[in-house]
Structure 1
């Protein structure tokens, strides 16, 4: 005759059942709260899956359709219909992969990037409206709890964390200003006038932001920002790369190179023919990245700025 479960075993099973019920209840709650079960995302004409595809293409250039399908877990037939719809609407271009002409490489068009920028802004506004109903303390508790969930459920990595590039969002300009000022003060003893310059650049970027001609990318590792770069308009044909920065803890992961390459690709997609940047001779690591990316030093000029005697350098390259 089989023995009856012990009281401790019954209690353990009950705890497991309670946890499963709690997770399922939370899953129903947050999907309803964030509206991800709606046919369309927010007030846009896009489904959640379509919005995810747009997101991937906006943050990772020239992806293969198969890669997107695998990462998002989309049925190949369904993904094919999304790709066809995007192409008909002029949101993407696709071309056969050189290594396998049965597979296609996808890229957003200028119209596609504008569409994503509007969708992204709408989503940001919806979340901002939800957070605005909370106190500052509750908003912090909420985002910290979300971060805990992500950390606990994330698979353990046996290799260095992947670098993800995303578009700027609310709060990023403050992060850029703070990190830039602190990094250059610590490494080169630059004074607070540099912080003022970065703040002015960021303020003008936000005030005059034109998604069709300009952009900012934030690099993240493990969900935390570790670097940034700005693409801004110099003239109708010349783009300017500004405020490249990589946190010390993320150096050696290829973050700087990824940001510069993304900035150049973004400039090409926006129709620029040439790119320029201004840096200082003492910034050896950054100069190495620019040189390996094909930039050439075109002029130098000594100057006294940020409390130091410096040699400014202008680097340029065709796109």
Structure 2
């Protein structure tokens, strides 16, 4: 990355930070009319979730200085908002929980915060609301400490998603490997042919969704009456090594057997270790490899096969 490109991206992050800070300020205007600061409300919210916590856990969860948090909790205790009791696991630690008065005090703050969020969303159409929420979830996923092994839903594509998958993969391979538009053309043909044939008994496409985000895809298409091909196998970079690729490939194998195919094939470039690893784990064997000039690059294209 050039210095100018790095600077452009850094400035974009700073611009978003300023914008989001203004939005957060608008969302928490009610705090100016209450006795609590934003940080105090965050602590009350964390404690309102129903399980007692230690100060060290609270501090890590909220990114708060231990000394500041200690003074804040002492203030809460004086106002009968919290109780402290020794931890059964570690006598040096105290478990902190909201009192009945604490819950009653926090409840209107929670209601006001929810209403202000609803007011903000009300300015947007329903599709725009979903787009905003998806973008927020993506930011959390990309900037989080590590991906969480949350449940993955495999479902049929919704309107527009097949086209998005073409766009996403073409964009990523162009950026990462310099592949040209012929790759996008290949993806578009696969999707167009699949959609036009519309043969759900012999062909299927699955979208992998995790925590409301599209994190992967795969498509199985008929090559002949006995052979099917795995296409569009994709897992978002931030969601890899969570078993999603294996889940998608296993679904292809199950479908191919139910549909009566006797062989499943998949093609991939030899330099891509993850698809090769998935094929090996699923029981595919390497049936052949050939040097080809494709997508503007000299590649070795491997053909993997699974007898069903």
TM-score bracket for the superposition, by shorter chain length: 0.5 to 0.7
Q: Post-superposition shift, 1:168? A: 1.3
* CA 1:251–1:142: 2 relative to 1, 3 Å: closer
Match of 2:229 in 1: 240
Match of 2:295 in 1: 306
CA distance in 2, matches of 1:146, 1:297: 42
Match of 2:277 in 1: 288
In the alignment, is residue 255 of structure 1 matched against residue 239 of structure 2?
no
* CA 1:163–1:191: 2 relative to 1, 3 Å: same
Does the residue aligned with 2:125 lie in a helix, a strand or coil? helix
- Work out which of the residue numbers 245, 254, 270 in structure 1 matches 2:259: 270
8 Å CA contact 2:134–2:213 kept in 1: the answer is: no
Structure 1, residues 222-264: CA drift from partner, whole Å, max 9, x if none? Answer: 1100111101111111111111111110011111111111111
Q: Post-superposition shift, 1:300? A: 1.3
Gaps of 5+ in 2: 1-34, 36-100, 119-123, 138-146
In the alignment, is residue 225 of structure 1 matched against residue 229 of structure 2?
no
Q: Post-superposition shift, 1:140? A: 2.6
CA distance in 2, matches of 1:198, 1:232: 13
Does the residue aligned with 2:251 lie in a helix, a strand or coil? helix
CA distance in 1, matches of 2:166, 2:156: 16
Match of 2:60 in 1: none
Larger Rg: 2
Match of 1:143 in 2: 130
* CA 1:236–1:185: 2 relative to 1, 3 Å: same
- Work out which of the residue numbers 188, 213, 224 in structure 1 matches 2:202: 213
* CA 1:144–1:197: 2 relative to 1, 3 Å: closer
Gaps of 5+ in 1: 1-7, 27-136, 151-157
Match of 1:200 in 2: 189
Does the residue aligned with 1:232 lie in a helix, a strand or coil? strand
8 Å CA contact 2:170–2:184 kept in 1: the answer is: yes
Does the residue aligned with 1:213 lie in a helix, a strand or coil? coil
* CA 1:147–1:242: 2 relative to 1, 3 Å: closer
- Work out which of the residue numbers 173, 177, 196 in structure 2 matches 1:184: 173
Scaled by the length of structure 1, what TM-score is found?
Answer: 0.53
Structure 1, residues 257-285: CA drift from partner, whole Å, max 9, x if none? Answer: 11111111111111212111121111111
8 Å CA contact 2:290–2:302 kept in 1: the answer is: yes
* CA 1:220–1:193: 2 relative to 1, 3 Å: same
Match of 1:123 in 2: none
